Amino acid sequence: MTGAGAAAGAAPGMITVIGLGPAGPELLTADARRAIESVGRRLLRTSRHPAAVAVEPAETCDDLYESGDSLDRVYTAIVDRILELSSDGDILYAVPGSPRVAEATVSLLEQRAGDREVRVRILPSLSFLDLAWDRLAVDPIELGVRLVDGHRFSIEVAGQRGPFLVGQCESRQVLSDIKLSIPDGAEPLDDAVLLHHLGLPDEAVTRVSWVDLDRAIEPDHLTSLWIPALSPPVGSELVAFEELVRTLRVSCPWDREQTHQSLTRHLLEEAHEVLEAIDHLGPADGHDIPHGYEHLRDELGDLLFQVFFHAAIAAEIGGFTIADVARAIHDKLVRRHPHVFAGVAASSSAAVSRRWDQIKADERRSAGHLPGSALDGIPVELPALARAQKLQQRAAGVGFDWAGIDGVWAKLGEEVSELTADPSEHELGDVLFSAVNLARWLGVDAETAVRRANTRFTERFARVEVLATARGIDLSAAGIDVLDALWDEAKAGLAADTT
């Protein structure tokens, strides 16, 4: 192990981790009891456990649960406290159940302690699982049971049928979220079982229908859920879709001939059709769902097909699968959102963007890429306005920017004057580039602004054509005064339609 100790010139103490077992003090192991007796400084993850009295006197981390805004940040704060206490000598850290079963703080502690050369000793204990298998009369190995965190149920059971033992079911809200995450028709094939206070005098093992899952009992931190099997697996739509794409590659002559290169045109087309569908979303009109959502759903499906298609081609030569794609972007987003998953403070979206760019640069260096220009990595294939805005954002990130928007306005005026004096492509390009910079300062996406301007022009011109036809006006011979009047009328009519 490498890294500095907890304090200069002093070695940190030993951290002994014990489990409190699934119920009262009577289920504590002999090793746990000896550890409690031998270590004077003790810390409970939570005092809300029937066996916590066996550790007293002890400090607790209950205050961190009350002040934390997410479990990940609470767990990080708990480990920070453990490491801080260990700098003064040996400590005992006691967790519910067993330290090796569904105990995120212990995994994080081992990782952090290794970086700081802190010694950690973990004593195995009886867990709630041991009592659960007995009460359910099942062999978890024979059935291939999957242990799932109730807070991550919809993610962890995706694509699987079960059986599942779901822990961390401490509230009606968690049970409700679990119930609602299962789509219609995919409920358990048999009744679920709620396991409550196992090993305690008020122990309850209750079979419940799926519809009553969050109404049958008052759950707490000693409640878990048994699901024998789900009817099709959660996420089965994506599994079925992947199978469909593979079938098309084998059975359809057109799909069989496609390559990554031949599909690029279709990928661009589908992406732009998604953008167009978003631009045409209407107001909710008294409903929660805006007009046009079905169209957006369909266009997103077309785009998703392109993603699955490229993954299927790559899988055929052993490159990667759609699962690799999902796993890679999942891990990347976790790395680039330390303010969400690692307890790092982020005061604004601008701070998030700066950290994102720094993490991305660090990733490139770790991958062996030599440091280069701040503008490296911006695809030349991007639409010109979008690329201009990204170039300007990167340059601004290293300090190449105006002190205020007044400078941007002045620069745009200067470029317009130069275009007036020299109406060339070069000068026009400078005007457009400066206009993109103004969009950035105004917080507007330049590409979106022009795309929507195109849409407005198309809609207004189509209205002009309708008005001209209704009045027997030949647009090509009407003259600018007539056309301008028709344009104003069309503009006013479209504005009235949207109010």
Average pLDDT of the chain, as a whole number: 85
Full domain range(s) for residue 458? 447-497
Q: What angle do CA 474, 476, 477 make, to 5 degrees?
A: 70
Torsion angle defined by CA atoms of residues 434, 437, 441 and 444, in that order, rounded to the nearest 10 degrees: 110
- Between the CA atoms of 346, 350, 352 and 357, what dihedral angle is there, to the nearest 10 degrees? -140
Final residue belonging to a domain, choices 206, 227, 248:
227
In-domain check, residue 413: no
- Would you state the pLDDT for residue 495? 65
Quick check: is 163 in a domain?
A: yes
Tell whether 90 is covered by a domain: yes
Same domain? For 137 and 122 the reply is no
Residue in 307, 334, 146 with CA at minimum distance from that of residue 228: 146
Could you read off the pLDDT of 233-268 as tens digits, one per residue?
667 778 888 889 999 999 999 999 999 999 988 998
Lowest mean pLDDT among 312-326, 340-354, 417-431: 340-354
The answer to whether residue 8 is domain-embedded is no
Selection from 248, 249, 317, 303 nearest residue 275 by Cα: 303
pTM tops 0.75: no
Identify whether 411 is part of a domain: no
Number of domains comprising the chain: 4
Co-location of 114 and 136 in the same domain: no
Domain-embedded: residue 418: no
342 domain residue, yes or no: no
Residue 325's H or E segment, with its range, is: helix 322-335
Asked if 197 and 290 sit in the same domain, the reply is no
The C-alpha R_g of the chain, in whole angstroms, comes to: 31
**pLDDT tens sequence across 127-173:** 889 999 999 999 999 999 999 988 888 888 877 788 999 998 989 99
92 and 134 in a common domain: no
| Last residue in a domain, options 126, 151, 175 | 126
- CATH code where residue 192 lies: 3.30.950.10
Residue range 361-379: mean pLDDT, rounded: 68
Inside any domain, residue 372: no
pLDDT for residue 8 is more than 60: no
Which among 292, 310, 335 is the end of a domain? 335
